[in-house]
Amino acid sequence: MPRLPTPKLPAALQGPPPRPGEENGNVAPADAAKEAGITVVDWVDERTSLSGAARWLMFRKIPKGTNWYYTLGSATLFAFLSQAVTGVFLAMYYRPDAGGGAYESIRHITDQVFLGQFVRGMHLWGASVMVVLVFLHMARTFLFGAYKYPRELNWVIGVVLLILTLVMALTGYLLPFDQRAYWATVVANNITATGPLIGPYLGDFLRAGPEFGATTLSRFYSIHMLVVPGLIAALIGAHLYLVTKLGTTAPPWQKVETRPELNEAEV
């Protein structure tokens, strides 16, 4: 007896159709890995919406005429990162002890630690490179008139970053605690103390006591590796946010070719 064909299951009871790549039930390992990666990114993005920010940061347009002078800012940022990384390694061995410990720990880093002198040299000369790059970046901004509307606030943040960079250079100079470091910082401290109004208080605060010595060193150390780097990192964040939001400037002599059909007189 002929039988009627079995009717199809209603759509609600059917399983999902096979996904691409798994028609015969087993997935290629490469596809599975790709799938897993996408799933993780999706999972994070679903909870943070970071993909929009990443697209905003990476796929923004930079104006026509952008040239090599525009890499000075990111080069400064890179020098800061290099200082941060080498500084972390130096902090693993450094002891802010004015009673000879600081001097001995620097000697230990220089003479005994694996690649110690190299990393110390990178930190020492990286400071000079960073100062030079900060000034070059500022010169570029000044010459191109890039501090003008609407980027005034970014210039102000940049000047604060310049001052903080010089504070880093000054406080870092004491840390090796040799003759040069000691006396240069005594002088810098005395000069600070001669300032009007807040000068004496600032001098007392930096010296951290009646005598220049143990407490001064630990205070400079904490300023050099905690306070100022934190401030610099936060302000770099603000600086970059504004750069991304406002866009980098075009070179001042870049010609703007307006489309004639947009000319008001001709419309």
Q: Which of residues 133-172 bind another protein (CB under 8 A)?
A: 133, 139, 142-152, 155-156, 159, 162-163, 166, 169-170
For residues 191 and 13, give the distance between their C-alpha atoms in angstroms, rounded to a whole number: 84
User: What's the min distance (Å) between Cβ of 226 and another protein?
Assistant: 21
End-to-end CA distance of the chain: 82
Applying the rule CB under 8 A, the residues between 2 and 41 that interact with another protein are none
User: What's the min distance (Å) between Cβ of 40 and another protein?
Assistant: 21
Determine, following the binding rule CB under 8 A, whether residue 236 of this chain makes contact with another protein. no
Among 18, 63, 99, 237, the residue binding another protein under the rule CB under 8 A is 63
For residues 10 and 1, give the distance between their C-alpha atoms in angstroms, rounded to a whole number: 26
For residues 224 and 211, give the distance between their C-alpha atoms in angstroms, rounded to a whole number: 20
Tokens of 13: 């009871």
For residues 157 and 172, give the distance between their C-alpha atoms in angstroms, rounded to a whole number: 22
Judged by beta carbon, residue 52 or residue 121, the one nearer another protein is: 121
What is the greatest pairwise CA distance in the chain?
114
User: What's the min distance (Å) between Cβ of 195 and another protein?
Assistant: 5
User: What's the min distance (Å) between Cβ of 56 and another protein?
Assistant: 10
Judged by beta carbon, residue 80 or residue 225, the one nearer another protein is: 80
For residues 164 and 209, give the distance between their C-alpha atoms in angstroms, rounded to a whole number: 24
Q: Are 228 and 164 in contact (CB under 8 A)?
A: yes
Query: How many CA atoms lie within 13 Å of 72's alpha carbon, on the beta-carbon side?
Result: 17
Q: In angstroms, what CA-CA distances link 133 with 72, 126, 221? A: 7, 10, 24
User: What's the min distance (Å) between Cβ of 145 and another protein?
Assistant: 3
Among 36, 38, 40, 57, the residue binding another protein under the rule CB under 8 A is 57
Applying the rule CB under 8 A, the residues between 75 and 134 that interact with another protein are 75, 78-79, 82, 100, 103, 106-107, 110, 117-129, 131-133
Judged by beta carbon, residue 39 or residue 190, the one nearer another protein is: 190
What x-and-dash track marks residues 181-210 binding another protein by CB under 8 A?
Answer: xxxx-xxx--x--xxx--x-----------
Determine, following the binding rule CB under 8 A, whether residue 245 of this chain makes contact with another protein. no
Determine, following the binding rule CB under 8 A, whether residue 235 of this chain makes contact with another protein. no
Determine, following the binding rule CB under 8 A, whether residue 230 of this chain makes contact with another protein. no
Q: Are 126 and 80 in contact (CB under 8 A)?
A: no
